[in-house]
Amino acid sequence: MLYSIVSNDVDNSLPLRKTARPAHLERLQALQAEGRLVLAGPSPAIDSADPGDAGFTGSIVIAEFASLDEARAWADADPYVAAGVYADVVVKPFKKVLPA
């Protein structure tokens, strides 16, 4: 089943993100290689694809996991969590409707 992982950053998270980003991307690339990643990306803090020093306010991951517990465990092990990037993370089942 698909799950959405919606994370909200702490204030001024950009330096923390930069430090943990390689390990964070490595995990996402592993999900992609397994064919389980639907989409992933950050939410820019300003209306720009490249927010520069303004940074980001959070992230969204939609991926396939065997269970809600597995999705939560994966989210809890994110390097951004360990680095203190996220203030909170919400994991929920997700039903893709469109595009078909």
Catalogue the long-range contacts made by 24-29 (C-beta closer than 8 Å, 24 or more residues apart).
24/78, 24/79, 24/80, 27/74, 27/77, 27/78, 27/79, 28/61
Q: What is the pLDDT of residues 69-78, one digit of tens each?
A: 999 999 999 9
Per-residue pLDDT of 14-71, as tens digits, reads 999 999 999 999 999 999 999 999 999 999 999 999 999 999 999 999 999 999 999 9
pLDDT at 20: 98
The answer to whether residue 100 scores a pLDDT higher than 90 is no
